[in-house]
Amino acid sequence: MLIDYHSALRLVLKHSSHLGAEVANIEDALGSFLAQDVIALADLPRFTSSAVDGYGVKIADLINVDDKNPAALKLVGEIKAGDSSKIKIQRGECLRILTGAPIPSGVDAVVMKEFTKQDEIIISFYTSANLGDNFRNKGEEFRKGKIILEKYTQINPAVVGLLASLGIKKIRIHKKPRVAVLVTGNELVEIGKKLKFGQIYDSNFYSLSSSLKQMDIDIINLGIAKDNKVELLKKVRLGLKISDLLLVSGGISVGEYDYVQEIFDKLKIKKIFWRIAIKPGKPTYFGTIGKKLIFGLPGNPVASLLIFNQIVKPAIRKMMGEIKHQPIILFAKLDEELKKRSGRLELVRGILREDSKSEIIVAPTKRQGSHMLGGMIDANCLIYFPMDKSVLKKGSIVKVVLMK
Protein backbone atom coordinates (compact mmCIF):
# COMPACT_ATOMS: atom_id res chain seq x y z
CA MET A 1 0.00 0.00 0.00
CA LEU A 2 2.90 2.37 0.65
CA ILE A 3 4.86 3.79 -2.28
CA ASP A 4 8.64 3.90 -1.94
CA TYR A 5 10.33 7.29 -1.74
CA HIS A 6 12.09 7.19 -5.10
CA SER A 7 8.92 6.18 -6.97
CA ALA A 8 7.03 8.95 -5.16
CA LEU A 9 9.65 11.52 -6.14
CA ARG A 10 9.66 10.29 -9.74
CA LEU A 11 5.85 10.67 -9.93
CA VAL A 12 5.98 14.14 -8.43
CA LEU A 13 8.63 15.26 -10.93
CA LYS A 14 6.72 13.67 -13.81
CA HIS A 15 3.65 15.75 -12.95
CA SER A 16 5.56 19.01 -12.40
CA SER A 17 5.98 21.18 -15.46
CA HIS A 18 7.97 24.33 -16.17
CA LEU A 19 5.95 27.52 -15.82
CA GLY A 20 5.99 30.24 -18.50
CA ALA A 21 8.70 32.84 -18.93
CA GLU A 22 8.96 36.44 -17.81
CA VAL A 23 11.54 39.19 -18.11
CA ALA A 24 13.50 40.21 -15.01
CA ASN A 25 16.32 42.57 -14.12
CA ILE A 26 19.46 40.54 -13.56
CA GLU A 27 19.71 41.72 -9.96
CA ASP A 28 16.25 40.29 -9.25
CA ALA A 29 16.86 36.98 -11.01
CA LEU A 30 19.03 35.21 -8.42
CA GLY A 31 17.84 31.62 -7.90
CA SER A 32 15.67 31.58 -11.02
CA PHE A 33 16.32 29.41 -14.07
CA LEU A 34 17.04 30.92 -17.49
CA ALA A 35 14.27 30.69 -20.09
CA GLN A 36 16.66 31.61 -22.91
CA ASP A 37 20.15 30.86 -24.09
CA VAL A 38 22.55 33.75 -23.54
CA ILE A 39 24.87 34.54 -26.42
CA ALA A 40 28.10 36.49 -26.03
CA LEU A 41 27.53 39.84 -27.72
CA ALA A 42 31.26 40.52 -27.59
CA ASP A 43 34.46 38.64 -26.92
CA LEU A 44 35.23 38.16 -23.24
CA PRO A 45 37.68 39.56 -22.23
CA ARG A 46 36.83 42.40 -24.59
CA PHE A 47 40.49 43.36 -25.14
CA THR A 48 43.86 41.90 -24.24
CA SER A 49 44.98 43.28 -20.90
CA SER A 50 47.55 42.70 -18.20
CA ALA A 51 46.82 40.11 -15.49
CA VAL A 52 49.35 41.67 -13.09
CA ASP A 53 51.05 44.89 -12.06
CA GLY A 54 54.38 44.99 -13.84
CA TYR A 55 56.22 46.07 -16.95
CA GLY A 56 55.41 45.59 -20.61
CA VAL A 57 58.51 44.47 -22.52
CA LYS A 58 59.80 43.06 -25.76
CA ILE A 59 60.91 39.52 -24.93
CA ALA A 60 63.94 39.88 -27.21
CA ASP A 61 65.36 42.32 -24.63
CA LEU A 62 65.28 39.69 -21.89
CA ILE A 63 66.99 36.70 -23.51
CA ASN A 64 69.24 34.78 -21.09
CA VAL A 65 68.27 37.06 -18.23
CA ASP A 66 68.04 35.64 -14.70
CA ASP A 67 68.61 36.83 -11.12
CA LYS A 68 72.40 36.83 -11.60
CA ASN A 69 72.33 38.48 -15.03
CA PRO A 70 69.70 41.21 -14.96
CA ALA A 71 68.81 43.39 -17.94
CA ALA A 72 68.16 47.11 -17.72
CA LEU A 73 65.42 48.77 -19.77
CA LYS A 74 64.34 52.39 -19.99
CA LEU A 75 60.90 53.23 -18.57
CA VAL A 76 59.04 55.29 -21.19
CA GLY A 77 55.53 55.53 -19.81
CA GLU A 78 52.66 54.04 -17.85
CA ILE A 79 49.25 52.53 -18.64
CA LYS A 80 46.63 52.10 -15.94
CA ALA A 81 43.34 50.19 -16.03
CA GLY A 82 40.85 52.33 -17.94
CA ASP A 83 43.53 54.10 -20.02
CA SER A 84 43.24 53.97 -23.77
CA SER A 85 46.65 55.41 -24.61
CA LYS A 86 48.44 54.00 -27.62
CA ILE A 87 52.05 54.36 -26.38
CA LYS A 88 54.53 52.22 -28.27
CA ILE A 89 57.84 50.83 -27.08
CA GLN A 90 61.06 50.28 -28.97
CA ARG A 91 63.85 47.76 -28.26
CA GLY A 92 65.54 48.64 -24.97
CA GLU A 93 62.40 50.23 -23.55
CA CYS A 94 59.64 49.16 -21.19
CA LEU A 95 56.33 50.45 -19.99
CA ARG A 96 54.75 50.35 -16.53
CA ILE A 97 51.47 48.49 -16.91
CA LEU A 98 48.87 47.89 -14.23
CA THR A 99 46.37 45.05 -13.79
CA GLY A 100 43.48 45.36 -16.24
CA ALA A 101 45.21 47.91 -18.48
CA PRO A 102 45.05 47.23 -22.25
CA ILE A 103 48.26 45.86 -23.72
CA PRO A 104 49.55 48.29 -26.33
CA SER A 105 50.85 46.92 -29.63
CA GLY A 106 54.54 46.20 -29.55
CA VAL A 107 54.45 44.86 -25.97
CA ASP A 108 54.77 41.11 -26.18
CA ALA A 109 54.91 40.13 -22.49
CA VAL A 110 54.34 41.60 -19.04
CA VAL A 111 56.90 40.92 -16.31
CA MET A 112 55.59 41.01 -12.75
CA LYS A 113 56.79 43.93 -10.67
CA GLU A 114 58.11 41.41 -8.10
CA PHE A 115 60.89 40.36 -10.57
CA THR A 116 62.17 43.90 -11.16
CA LYS A 117 63.87 46.78 -9.40
CA GLN A 118 63.40 50.45 -10.24
CA ASP A 119 66.11 53.11 -10.16
CA GLU A 120 64.67 56.38 -11.47
CA ILE A 121 63.82 55.64 -15.12
CA ILE A 122 65.87 52.47 -15.32
CA ILE A 123 64.13 49.19 -14.57
CA SER A 124 66.26 46.09 -13.89
CA PHE A 125 64.71 42.75 -14.85
CA TYR A 126 65.76 39.56 -13.05
CA THR A 127 63.85 37.12 -15.22
CA SER A 128 63.33 36.37 -18.89
CA ALA A 129 59.85 36.27 -20.42
CA ASN A 130 57.83 34.29 -22.95
CA LEU A 131 55.48 35.65 -25.56
CA GLY A 132 52.13 36.56 -23.97
CA ASP A 133 53.26 36.12 -20.35
CA ASN A 134 50.70 37.61 -17.94
CA PHE A 135 48.28 38.53 -20.73
CA ARG A 136 44.55 38.10 -20.40
CA ASN A 137 43.78 37.50 -24.04
CA LYS A 138 40.79 38.95 -25.85
CA GLY A 139 38.13 36.25 -26.26
CA GLU A 140 40.02 33.64 -24.20
CA GLU A 141 36.98 32.94 -22.01
CA PHE A 142 34.11 33.42 -24.49
CA ARG A 143 34.05 34.18 -28.21
CA LYS A 144 31.51 36.61 -29.60
CA GLY A 145 28.44 34.79 -30.96
CA LYS A 146 28.87 31.64 -28.86
CA ILE A 147 26.27 30.42 -26.34
CA ILE A 148 27.72 31.09 -22.92
CA LEU A 149 24.75 30.25 -20.72
CA GLU A 150 22.21 27.63 -21.69
CA LYS A 151 18.48 27.78 -21.14
CA TYR A 152 17.53 26.15 -17.77
CA THR A 153 20.79 27.23 -16.10
CA GLN A 154 20.14 28.30 -12.52
CA ILE A 155 21.14 31.88 -11.89
CA ASN A 156 23.74 32.03 -9.12
CA PRO A 157 25.83 35.08 -8.17
CA ALA A 158 28.47 34.15 -10.78
CA VAL A 159 25.81 34.08 -13.50
CA VAL A 160 24.52 37.50 -12.42
CA GLY A 161 28.09 38.82 -12.57
CA LEU A 162 28.72 37.26 -15.97
CA LEU A 163 25.52 38.78 -17.37
CA ALA A 164 26.62 42.17 -16.07
CA SER A 165 30.07 41.78 -17.63
CA LEU A 166 28.31 41.20 -20.95
CA GLY A 167 26.35 44.41 -20.44
CA ILE A 168 23.04 42.55 -20.13
CA LYS A 169 20.47 44.26 -17.89
CA LYS A 170 17.36 42.11 -18.43
CA ILE A 171 16.93 38.42 -18.93
CA ARG A 172 14.14 35.91 -19.61
CA ILE A 173 13.57 33.55 -16.71
CA HIS A 174 10.99 30.92 -15.81
CA LYS A 175 8.24 32.13 -13.52
CA LYS A 176 8.12 30.85 -9.99
CA PRO A 177 4.97 29.09 -8.77
CA ARG A 178 2.53 30.85 -6.49
CA VAL A 179 2.33 28.63 -3.43
CA ALA A 180 -0.59 28.63 -1.01
CA VAL A 181 -0.23 27.20 2.49
CA LEU A 182 -3.11 25.97 4.64
CA VAL A 183 -2.56 24.48 8.06
CA THR A 184 -5.25 22.36 9.67
CA GLY A 185 -6.02 21.18 13.18
CA ASN A 186 -8.47 22.02 15.99
CA GLU A 187 -5.58 22.26 18.41
CA LEU A 188 -3.69 24.97 16.52
CA VAL A 189 -3.46 28.56 17.67
CA GLU A 190 -1.78 31.46 15.94
CA ILE A 191 1.30 32.80 17.72
CA GLY A 192 0.51 35.96 19.66
CA LYS A 193 -2.73 34.51 21.08
CA LYS A 194 -3.16 32.78 24.45
CA LEU A 195 -3.10 28.98 24.60
CA LYS A 196 -5.68 26.95 26.49
CA PHE A 197 -4.71 23.55 27.87
CA GLY A 198 -4.47 21.03 25.00
CA GLN A 199 -3.76 23.65 22.40
CA ILE A 200 -0.44 24.26 20.64
CA TYR A 201 0.97 26.99 18.49
CA ASP A 202 1.00 26.44 14.76
CA SER A 203 4.64 26.11 13.74
CA ASN A 204 4.24 24.43 10.35
CA PHE A 205 3.11 27.59 8.59
CA TYR A 206 6.26 29.29 9.80
CA SER A 207 8.70 26.51 8.94
CA LEU A 208 7.10 25.95 5.52
CA SER A 209 6.86 29.63 4.67
CA SER A 210 10.51 30.10 5.71
CA SER A 211 11.51 27.25 3.42
CA LEU A 212 9.60 28.97 0.62
CA LYS A 213 11.21 32.27 1.47
CA GLN A 214 14.64 30.68 1.09
CA MET A 215 13.58 29.87 -2.47
CA ASP A 216 12.29 33.42 -2.92
CA ILE A 217 8.75 32.15 -3.55
CA ASP A 218 5.69 34.30 -2.86
CA ILE A 219 3.44 32.71 -0.29
CA ILE A 220 -0.32 32.90 0.00
CA ASN A 221 -1.28 32.35 3.63
CA LEU A 222 -4.64 30.61 3.87
CA GLY A 223 -4.50 30.62 7.66
CA ILE A 224 -5.55 27.86 10.03
CA ALA A 225 -8.56 25.65 9.30
CA LYS A 226 -10.36 23.64 11.98
CA ASP A 227 -10.91 19.93 11.37
CA ASN A 228 -14.26 20.82 9.91
CA LYS A 229 -15.37 19.79 6.42
CA VAL A 230 -17.17 23.03 5.57
CA GLU A 231 -14.23 25.22 6.53
CA LEU A 232 -11.72 22.92 4.86
CA LEU A 233 -13.71 22.80 1.62
CA LYS A 234 -13.91 26.57 1.48
CA LYS A 235 -10.21 27.13 2.12
CA VAL A 236 -8.91 24.34 -0.11
CA ARG A 237 -11.15 25.54 -2.95
CA LEU A 238 -9.84 29.09 -2.55
CA GLY A 239 -6.25 27.82 -2.38
CA LEU A 240 -6.66 25.89 -5.61
CA LYS A 241 -8.05 28.92 -7.37
CA ILE A 242 -5.23 31.30 -6.49
CA SER A 243 -2.12 29.12 -6.53
CA ASP A 244 -0.05 26.86 -8.76
CA LEU A 245 0.84 24.63 -5.85
CA LEU A 246 -1.15 24.05 -2.69
CA LEU A 247 0.33 22.78 0.56
CA VAL A 248 -2.09 21.53 3.20
CA SER A 249 -0.50 20.60 6.51
CA GLY A 250 -2.10 18.03 8.82
CA GLY A 251 -5.34 16.08 8.66
CA ILE A 252 -4.06 13.70 5.98
CA SER A 253 -3.46 10.63 8.14
CA VAL A 254 -5.93 7.93 9.17
CA GLY A 255 -7.46 9.63 12.24
CA GLU A 256 -11.23 10.06 12.67
CA TYR A 257 -10.94 13.79 12.06
CA ASP A 258 -8.50 13.69 9.16
CA TYR A 259 -10.85 15.06 6.52
CA VAL A 260 -8.35 16.57 4.11
CA GLN A 261 -8.29 13.70 1.62
CA GLU A 262 -12.07 13.55 1.53
CA ILE A 263 -12.10 17.25 0.63
CA PHE A 264 -9.48 16.73 -2.06
CA ASP A 265 -11.67 13.98 -3.57
CA LYS A 266 -14.73 16.20 -3.41
CA LEU A 267 -12.88 18.91 -5.34
CA LYS A 268 -11.97 16.39 -8.07
CA ILE A 269 -8.27 16.41 -7.32
CA LYS A 270 -6.66 13.43 -9.01
CA LYS A 271 -4.84 11.39 -6.39
CA ILE A 272 -1.40 10.25 -7.57
CA PHE A 273 -0.31 8.68 -4.30
CA TRP A 274 -1.01 8.70 -0.61
CA ARG A 275 1.42 7.37 1.98
CA ILE A 276 5.12 6.93 1.36
CA ALA A 277 7.32 4.21 2.90
CA ILE A 278 9.39 6.85 4.63
CA LYS A 279 10.00 7.93 8.20
CA PRO A 280 9.13 10.57 9.12
CA GLY A 281 6.46 11.56 6.63
CA LYS A 282 4.38 8.46 5.92
CA PRO A 283 0.95 10.12 5.48
CA THR A 284 2.11 12.35 2.60
CA TYR A 285 -0.47 12.86 -0.17
CA PHE A 286 0.12 14.05 -3.73
CA GLY A 287 -2.49 14.93 -6.32
CA THR A 288 -3.05 17.17 -9.34
CA ILE A 289 -5.72 19.23 -11.04
CA GLY A 290 -4.56 20.14 -14.53
CA LYS A 291 -1.07 21.51 -14.03
CA LYS A 292 -1.65 22.44 -10.39
CA LEU A 293 0.01 20.34 -7.73
CA ILE A 294 -1.55 19.54 -4.38
CA PHE A 295 0.39 18.17 -1.43
CA GLY A 296 -1.06 16.94 1.84
CA LEU A 297 1.81 17.14 4.31
CA PRO A 298 1.94 15.34 7.63
CA GLY A 299 1.18 17.55 10.63
CA ASN A 300 4.20 16.49 12.65
CA PRO A 301 6.59 19.44 12.38
CA VAL A 302 9.72 17.50 11.42
CA ALA A 303 7.84 15.32 8.94
CA SER A 304 6.28 18.37 7.33
CA LEU A 305 9.65 20.08 6.91
CA LEU A 306 11.48 16.98 5.65
CA ILE A 307 8.77 16.10 3.14
CA PHE A 308 8.89 19.68 1.95
CA ASN A 309 12.64 19.29 1.38
CA GLN A 310 12.57 15.82 -0.14
CA ILE A 311 9.38 15.94 -2.22
CA VAL A 312 7.91 19.44 -2.57
CA LYS A 313 11.13 21.37 -3.18
CA PRO A 314 12.18 19.27 -6.19
CA ALA A 315 8.67 19.85 -7.63
CA ILE A 316 8.94 23.61 -7.14
CA ARG A 317 12.42 23.64 -8.68
CA LYS A 318 11.10 21.73 -11.69
CA MET A 319 8.27 24.27 -12.09
CA MET A 320 10.91 27.00 -11.88
CA GLY A 321 12.77 25.47 -14.82
CA GLU A 322 15.14 22.88 -13.36
CA ILE A 323 15.72 19.98 -15.75
CA LYS A 324 17.53 17.56 -13.49
CA HIS A 325 16.99 17.02 -9.80
CA GLN A 326 20.44 16.52 -8.31
CA PRO A 327 20.63 16.35 -4.54
CA ILE A 328 24.16 16.51 -3.15
CA ILE A 329 24.87 12.98 -1.99
CA LEU A 330 27.99 11.78 -0.24
CA PHE A 331 29.20 8.80 1.71
CA ALA A 332 30.35 9.06 5.29
CA LYS A 333 31.44 6.87 8.17
CA LEU A 334 28.71 6.37 10.73
CA ASP A 335 29.73 7.32 14.27
CA GLU A 336 26.97 5.53 16.14
CA GLU A 337 24.93 2.36 15.58
CA LEU A 338 21.40 2.97 14.25
CA LYS A 339 18.44 0.60 14.59
CA LYS A 340 14.90 0.54 13.21
CA ARG A 341 12.23 -1.81 11.94
CA SER A 342 12.62 -2.59 8.25
CA GLY A 343 9.93 -1.52 5.78
CA ARG A 344 10.42 2.25 5.51
CA LEU A 345 13.30 4.44 4.40
CA GLU A 346 14.29 6.45 7.45
CA LEU A 347 15.73 9.93 7.07
CA VAL A 348 17.88 10.34 10.15
CA ARG A 349 18.84 13.92 10.93
CA GLY A 350 22.61 13.99 11.05
CA ILE A 351 25.68 16.10 11.61
CA LEU A 352 28.39 15.68 9.03
CA ARG A 353 31.91 16.72 9.96
CA GLU A 354 35.53 16.11 9.08
CA ASP A 355 37.58 14.51 11.86
CA SER A 356 41.25 15.14 12.68
CA LYS A 357 42.28 12.39 10.21
CA SER A 358 40.32 14.11 7.42
CA GLU A 359 37.69 11.37 7.44
CA ILE A 360 34.08 12.39 6.81
CA ILE A 361 32.05 11.30 9.82
CA VAL A 362 28.31 11.45 10.34
CA ALA A 363 26.39 11.16 13.60
CA PRO A 364 22.66 11.38 14.29
CA THR A 365 21.47 14.45 16.17
CA LYS A 366 19.74 14.04 19.51
CA ARG A 367 15.92 14.28 19.49
CA GLN A 368 14.91 12.20 16.49
CA GLY A 369 11.15 12.28 17.22
CA SER A 370 9.07 13.51 14.28
CA HIS A 371 7.56 16.13 16.60
CA MET A 372 10.99 17.36 17.72
CA LEU A 373 12.14 20.30 15.64
CA GLY A 374 15.09 20.57 18.06
CA GLY A 375 16.70 17.62 16.26
CA MET A 376 16.88 19.68 13.10
CA ILE A 377 18.63 22.69 14.52
CA ASP A 378 22.17 21.32 14.29
CA ALA A 379 21.46 18.89 11.45
CA ASN A 380 23.27 19.61 8.20
CA CYS A 381 22.36 16.36 6.45
CA LEU A 382 20.02 13.40 6.33
CA ILE A 383 21.36 9.89 6.77
CA TYR A 384 19.57 7.46 4.43
CA PHE A 385 18.68 4.40 6.48
CA PRO A 386 17.50 2.08 3.67
CA MET A 387 14.02 0.57 3.66
CA ASP A 388 15.13 -3.08 3.90
CA LYS A 389 17.74 -2.56 6.63
CA SER A 390 17.18 -2.75 10.37
CA VAL A 391 20.71 -2.01 11.60
CA LEU A 392 23.46 0.32 10.43
CA LYS A 393 26.65 -0.57 12.26
CA LYS A 394 28.96 1.97 13.81
CA GLY A 395 31.88 2.50 11.44
CA SER A 396 29.93 1.46 8.33
CA ILE A 397 29.82 3.71 5.27
CA VAL A 398 26.39 5.30 4.83
CA LYS A 399 24.71 7.47 2.21
CA VAL A 400 24.07 11.02 3.28
CA VAL A 401 22.28 13.86 1.54
CA LEU A 402 23.26 17.43 2.31
CA MET A 403 20.59 19.77 3.64
CA LYS A 404 22.40 23.09 3.54
The strand ranges marked E within 150-250 are 170-174, 179-184, 188-189, 200-201, 219-225, 245-249
Q: Which of 250, 283, 298, 364 binds Mg ion (CB under 5 A)?
A: 250
Distance in Å, CB of 276 to ligand AMP, minimum: 14
d(CA 282, CA 299): 11
Distance in Å, CB of 199 to ligand AMP, minimum: 9
Query: Are 305 and 211 within 8 A, CB to CB?
Result: yes
Q: Is 185 in the site for ligand AMP (CB under 6 A)?
A: yes
Q: Which among 21-29, 90-98, 148-156, 199-207 is the span making contact with ligand AMP, rule CB under 6 A?
A: 199-207
Closer by beta carbon to ligand AMP, 49 or else 253: 253
Q: Count CB-CB contacts under 10 A for residue 210.
A: 11
Per-residue contact flags (x/-) with Mg ion for residues 180 to 219, judged by CB under 5 A: -----x----------------------------------
Distance in Å, CB of 28 to ligand AMP, minimum: 31
Closer by beta carbon to ligand AMP, 16 or else 370: 370
Partners of 271 in the beta sheet? 287
Q: Which helix (H) or strand (E) holds 99?
A: none
- Residue 196: CB partners within 8 Å, gap ≥ 6? none
Distance in Å, CB of 203 to ligand AMP, minimum: 4
Residues numbered 288 to 327 that lie near ligand AMP (CB under 6 A) are 298-301
Q: Is 204 in the site for ligand AMP (CB under 6 A)?
A: yes
Question: Measured at CB, which residue is nearest to ligand AMP?
Answer: 299
Describe the chain by its helix, strand, coil percentages, rounded to 5: 20, 35, 45
Q: Which of these, 139, 132, 127, lies nearest to 46 by C-alpha position?
A: 139
d(CA 33, CA 156): 9
User: Binds 287, which of Mg ion, ligand AMP, none (CB < 5 to 8 A, cut-off by type)?
Assistant: none
Torsions phi, psi for 241 (to 5 deg): -65, -40
Residues numbered 108 to 147 that lie near Mg ion (CB under 5 A) are none
Q: Which of 34, 35, 62, 183 binds ligand AMP (CB under 6 A)?
A: 183
Partners of 252 in the beta sheet? none
User: Binds 350, which of Mg ion, ligand AMP, none (CB < 5 to 8 A, cut-off by type)?
Assistant: none
Q: Is 250 in the site for ligand AMP (CB under 6 A)?
A: yes
Interface contacts to Mg ion, rule CB under 5 A: 185, 250-251, 299
